[in-house]
Amino acid sequence: MYQFLFNITGNEIIAGLITACIPLVFILIFVLFAVWFERKVSAHMQDRLGPMRVGWHGVLQTVADFVKMLQKEDIIATEADRKLFSIAPVLVFAGSFAAYAAIPFSSKLLGSEVEVGIFYVIAISSLVVAGILMAGWSSNNKYSLLGAMRSAAQIVSYEIPTALVVLSMVMLTGTLSLDKMSQMQTAHFWDWNIFGGPTFGFAKFLLIPFMFVGFLIVYISTLAEVNRTPFDIPEAESELVAGYFTEYVGMKWAMFMLSEYANMFSVSAIITILFFGGYQSPVGYLGNTLGAPALIPFEQGIWFIAKGIFFVFVQMWLRWTLPRLRVDQLMTVCWKYLIPYAFINLIIIGIITLL
Amino acid sequence: MKNPEEIFEILKKEFGESILAIDKDVPTEPIIAVDPMYINKVGQFLREHEELKFDSLMVLSGVDDANGTKIKDEDETEVISGGTLSVYYHLHSVYLKHKITLKVSTPRDNPKAESVESIWKTADWHEREAYDMFGIIFLNHPDLRRILMPYDWEAGYPLRKDYKNPEFYQGMKVPY
Amino acid sequence: MALKTETMVLNMGPQHPSTHGVLRLELELEGEVIVNVKPHIGYLHRCFEKHAEVMTYPQVIPYTDRMDYLASMSNNFGYVVAVEKLLGIQVPDRVQYIRVIMAELQRIASHLVALGTNGLDIGAFTPFLYLFRDREHILSLFEMTCGARLLYNYMWVGGLSHDIHPDFVRLTKEFVNYFRPTITELNNLLTFNKIFIERTANIGILPLDTAINFGATGPVLRGSGLAFDLRREDPYSIYDRFNFEIPTGKGLVGTIGDCWDRYYVRVLEMEQSLRIIEQAIDPIPEGDVQSAIPKRVKPPKGTVYSRTENPRGELGYFIISDGNVNPFRIKVRGPSFVNLELMGELCKGHLVADVIAILGSIDIVLGEVDR
């Protein structure tokens, strides 16, 4: 993408800026859609209708909420630490947004072609923890502090099973770059990693159950990373009012919400790239059958976004069905169950790749 | 399963003058009157005796008997002096399935009674409420302070018959 | 050198999303573990007992509605049974049957709120809405009868305020048939959900003798294993004519007397209430519901303590009459007032998140605690 723009404009800075802004625009539109989608999904699951009045079936509801948020008074508590209080939401959003640099939306639309794709993503999304701790501490509120500490513990712990499963996928595909991983899972769905990867052979069928286990482990861990139920203790409404963002109003609170939904999409995106073929279509391309190869990147983009939205939908589905885990039970699940299984998975996949 | 007269006989044999009388003719239940300073010993006995086994205190209520002399105050309201404040205890046994009502009467000017909190833990908050509403002091209660009214309510005990609302409470006007 | 630590005092203040009203819980924490809990009440005190002394006996009835506002029919029932005992009057059979049906429907409605909010506090948002949808059916039955959805003023001394609508019997039978499968749905969704069981089993265990000593009644006592129900022990109205079981906690997924047992006792009680309604709805005798209402309620001098089975426990009315048209003293023994004392006992050694689970399982209504 950067090359393409550089060729057009001839200027490094403008090309770089536009490449950076495309994911930002995508995030903003996605959040508008995701908030509406969550409200409709939760409403239909709970036997009611959700927003119906603003626009057709409420699609403009988020726009209305956003306008309301813009005109709210920005209150900072007297005893709060002003600088940290203001920087915290920015830091949290920056951590979520920076992960989009390495995620390929299609074969031509990639933010920056770093060789260390997935490694970069995992590292930069840990900025979020720093932001959350800052938010909790600077609010000068016992509830916020409790929420922030719990959230930090949760995110840091659940990065370990994520990293282990990602490591096993890296072993399998032999590359860290997300773009190359997507390209390796060529064009039909039986070549996706969840079904064993593109190389045909005995090893492929052996891998399938372990791929499923890996997928489940990484899905549960990333649910915890984005603080969604059943792991939403930092935001547990009925216990801590709103956890680490109790004291935030207006635009600062909107930044936290933005970064939460951005995070949700980015982890769904990582899961689709690792296991479900990234931007590859399961059934072949219209561009190929119609003979117009220029159409293919657009189709890939559509498939990628559709798969991401499907996993976001499953995350929402789980939120409205399951109750919440207590903080020590959450830690038990991570350290006593997910990490041992992830390790065993890693070792077995390693052995199979040697075959 | 015993009826109140039999229970009265057992108590009278054990405690003598602390058990004052049994009031049988009034509807709907007989009431045994007990001396206020001995109510905790009576309660302990009632809970532990094998034929009685009253292990549950259903309710403990303070009552202003309003049987003193009514004196007219300066601003045309009545103040009662003399007379008694009473506490009624309703006990019941879960396993032997009988009930009894006890009553203690304390003088209005110095209302003191022994606390039964160590015998039945229910009495903790009930006695605090009787103190809050009537001013009855329960001796040996671990934490006797107001429960329903604000902790710094100075103007008296609301459920007494001669209670008057204060004008102001912490700068807010009280009467509507 | 040992580190000197202090316990942190956290206030779950009068305004909090899950303290079921205005209750202030002062928690003393050591990290996340609770050392002590002190409830502070009195924020909703409306001086019911003082008001009752200046009104006549029938005028007190709307005030009794507002004490436990989620179970108004049962509050009315307790009061009129007490006054009728003091007066010594008998009410016609039709009135008795309708009173029992209303009280059991109210028990189901109240348990629906209790179970829904218990789930909501644990984090399960959806069962709350499903249960409220079912509660709407009961509330429209009540609205058809007396015009109100929440505070009814329906049972009067000696009779009822309105007779039932001609469609009431048919609609109640339809409701009973509709409701049975939704209890199964609730069990599948919430009761046997692994995460819910993790949050509530073995939490807040209440041994039986502590329960009796603290005066706990209702599902709290039955959850600890004792089959004690006032409709069997001390039958009032015509409850001795009906067949129903008394569910108790058996420690199915934890220890006897934990939060899950109290929750499950309420689920089973809803089923038993449906049984009572089915037995009572057909043989309602004919008659006039207002024939036994006395013109002036002037009981003789005396006292009465009568207790009925509220959805939350034993609701007791202690009425002292001195022969006038106004009561001399009414003391209400609210079950939530007594059950709330257990909070200090049950929460020791648990985490902050468990306080919410325990409070939800005790099921208090602040209107009854503070009166």
Read off the pLDDT of residues A17-46 as tens digits, 9 standing for 90 and up. 888 888 888 888 998 899 899 899 888 888
Question: At a CB cut-off of 8 Å and minimum separation 6, what does C66 contact?
Answer: C46, C48, C72, C151, C367
Structural domain includes residue C2: no
Inspect the interface and report whether the beta carbons of B58 and C41 lie closer than 8 Å.
Answer: no
The tokens describing A294, both together, are 């220029």
DSSP A338: I
Distances in Å between the alpha carbon of A119 and those of A12, A126, A163, A168, B134? 26, 12, 9, 13, 72
Q: Which residue blocks in chain B are alpha helix, DSSP H?
A: 4-15, 39-48, 123-134
Residue A237 has pLDDT above 60, yes or no: no
Q: Tens of pLDDT along A84-105?
A: 888 888 888 888 888 888 888 8
Q: Which strands form C329-333's sheet, in the order they lie side by side?
A: C302-310, C313-321, C329-333
- The average pLDDT across A326-343 equals 87
CA A329 to CA C149: how far, in whole Å?
A: 41
Q: What is the CATH number of the domain that holds C242?
A: 1.10.645.10
Question: DSSP string spanning A196-228?
Answer: T-SS-SHHHHHHHHHHHHHHHHHHHHHHHHTT-
Q: In whole numbers, what is the pLDDT of chain C averaged over residues?
A: 86
Region C116-143: what's the mean pLDDT? 88
Closest-CA residue in chain A for C130? Answer: A46
> E strand or H helix at B172, and its extent?
strand B172-173
Both structure tokens of B1:
């399963």
Whether the per-residue pLDDT at A66 is higher than 90: the answer is no
pLDDT digits (tens, 9 = 90+) for C259-286: 888 899 999 999 999 999 988 888 888 8
Distance CA B141, CA C219 (A): 29
Q: Which of A213-227, B22-36, C65-79, C134-148 has the lowest mean pLDDT?
A: B22-36
Could you tell me if B148 and C370 are in contact, meaning their C-beta atoms sit under 8 angstroms apart? yes
| Contact (CB, 8 A) for A100 and A258 | no
Span A208-229, average pLDDT: 85
C138-146, long-range: CB within 8 Å, 24+ apart, which pairs? C138/C105, C138/C106, C138/C108, C138/C109, C138/C112, C138/C175, C139/C109, C141/C105, C141/C168, C141/C171, C141/C172, C141/C175, C142/C73, C142/C102, C142/C105, C144/C168, C144/C171, C145/C102
Cβ burial of C349 (10 Å; 0-12, 13-18, 19+) is exposed
Per the prediction, chain A carries an average pLDDT of: 81
CB C307 within 8 A of CB C94: no
Using CA atoms, how far apart are residues C54 and C145, in angstroms rounded to an integer? 30
Cβ distance A321 to C190 less than 8 Å, yes or no, reads no
CA distance A160 to chain C (A): 23
Residue C89 lies in a domain: yes
Count structural domains, chain C.
Answer: 1
**Residue C310 amino acid letter:** N
Contacts of C among chains (3+ CB pairs under 8 A): A, B
Chain B, nearest residue to C229 by Cα:
B94
Stretches in chain B below the pLDDT threshold 70: 18, 25, 74-76, 176
For residue C345, give how far its alpha carbon lies from the nearest alpha carbon of chain A (Å).
20
Residues 6+ apart with CB under 8 A from A6: A12, A15
Q: What is the pLDDT of residue A238?
A: 47
The Cα of A340 is separated from the nearest Cα of chain C by a number of Å equal to 21
User: What is the amino acid identity at position A332?
Assistant: T
Which residues, 6+ apart, have CB-to-CB distance to C124 below 8 Å? Answer: A321, A322, A323, A324, C189, C190, C193, C196
Mean pLDDT of C207-224: 88
CB within 8 Å: C121 and A46: no
**How close A88 gets to chain C, by Cα (Å)?**
25
Residue of C nearest to A231 (CA): C123
Nearest CA in chain C to B28: C304
- Of the pLDDT bands very low, low, confident and very high (cuts 50, 70, 90), residue C88 is confident
Q: How far is CA A72 from CA A254, B65, C17, in A?
A: 11, 59, 23
pLDDT class of A210 with cuts at 50, 70, 90: confident
Q: Which two tokens mark A308?
A: 């991401």
Q: Is the pLDDT of residue A291 over 80?
A: no
- Pairing between β-strand B112-114 and β-strand B137-139 as defined by DSSP bridges: parallel
Which member of A46, A237, A325 has the closest CB to residue C195?
A: A325
**Cα B85 to Cα B138: distance, rounded to the nearest angstrom:** 13
> Least CA distance to C314: which residue of chain B?
B58
Domain ranges, residue C73: 8-370
Interfacial residues of C (vs B; Cβ cutoff 8 Å): 41-42, 45, 47, 49-50, 85-86, 88, 209, 212-215, 226, 228, 233, 300-305, 307, 314, 316, 318, 320, 329, 331, 333, 337-338, 340-341, 370-371
Minimum-distance CB partner of A45 among C18, C32, C126: C126
In contact, A261 and A33? CB cutoff 8 Å:
no
Distance from C-alpha of C37 to C-alpha of C33, rounded to nearest angstrom? 11
Segment A188-214 shows an average pLDDT of 74
- CB count within 10 Å of CB C7 equals 14
Asked if C101 and C111 count as a contact pair (C-beta separation under 8 A), the reply is no
Q: What is the mean pLDDT of residues C228-253?
A: 85
Q: What is the pTM for the complete model shown? A: 0.86
User: Number of Cβ pairs closer than 8 Å across B and C?
Assistant: 86
CB-count burial class (<10 Å; 0-12, 13-18, 19+) for C364: buried
Predicted confidence band of residue A235 (pLDDT cuts 50, 70, 90): low
Q: Within a domain: residue C161? A: yes
Judged by 3 or more CB pairs under 8 A, whether B touches C is: yes
pLDDT at A187 over 80: no
What's the pLDDT tens digit per position in C6-28? 777 877 777 666 657 788 888 88
pLDDT of residue A200: 67
**CB spacing of C10 vs A142 below 8 angstroms:** yes
The better pLDDT of the pair A107, A160 is held by A160
What pLDDT score does A2 carry? 67
- This complex has an ipTM of 0.89
DSSP of C155-210: EETTEESSPPPTTHHHHHHHHHHHHHHHHHHHIIIIIT-HHHHHHHTTSS---HHH
A196: left (phi over 0), alpha (psi -120 to 50) or beta: left
Q: Is residue C169 part of a domain?
A: yes
Cα angle B40, B45, B49 (rounded to 5 degrees) comes to: 160
Question: Hey, is B137 helix, strand or coil?
Answer: strand
Pull the structure tokens for residue C83. Answer: 């006054």
Residues of chain B in contact with residue C316, where contact means CB-CB under 8 angstroms, are 58-59, 90
User: Out of A201-205, B141-145, C85-89, which region has the weakest mean confidence (pLDDT)?
Assistant: A201-205
Report d(CA C41, CA C47) in Å as an integer. 14
pLDDT given for residue C110 in this prediction: 92
Using CB atoms and an 8 Å cut-off, which of residues 126-185 of chain A contact chain C? 142-143, 146
Q: Which chains touch A (3 or more CB pairs under 8 A)?
A: C
The average pLDDT across A310-339 equals 86
Q: Name which of C233, C331, C368, C369 to mutate to probe chain B: the one with the most chain B Cβ atoms within 10 A of its Cβ.
A: C331
Task: Give the closest-approach CA distance of A344 to chain C in angstroms.
Answer: 25
Number of cross-chain residue pairs from A and C with Cβ atoms under 8 Å apart: 74
| Tokens encoding B109 | 């000017």
Q: Which residue of C has its CA nearest to B60?
A: C333
- Cβ neighbors of A319 (< 8 A, separation 6 or more) are A42, A228, A229, A232
Asked if pLDDT for residue A116 goes beyond 80, the answer is: yes
Residue C52: pLDDT band with limits 50, 70, 90? confident
Task: Examine chains B and A and say if they touch (3+ CB pairs below 8 A).
Answer: no
pLDDT band at C50 (very low <50, low <70, confident <90, very high): confident
Instruction: Report residue A198's pLDDT band, with 50, 70 and 90 as the boundaries.
Output: low
Tell me which chain A residue has its CA closest to the CA of residue C16. Answer: A241
Q: How far apart are CA C316 and CA B58, in angstroms?
A: 8
Q: Is residue C1 part of a domain?
A: no
d(CA C158, CA C163): 13
Q: What is the pLDDT of residue C139?
A: 92
* Interface contact flag, C8 A142, Cβ < 8 Å: yes
Give the start-to-end residue ranges of the domains of chain A: 1-71, 77-354
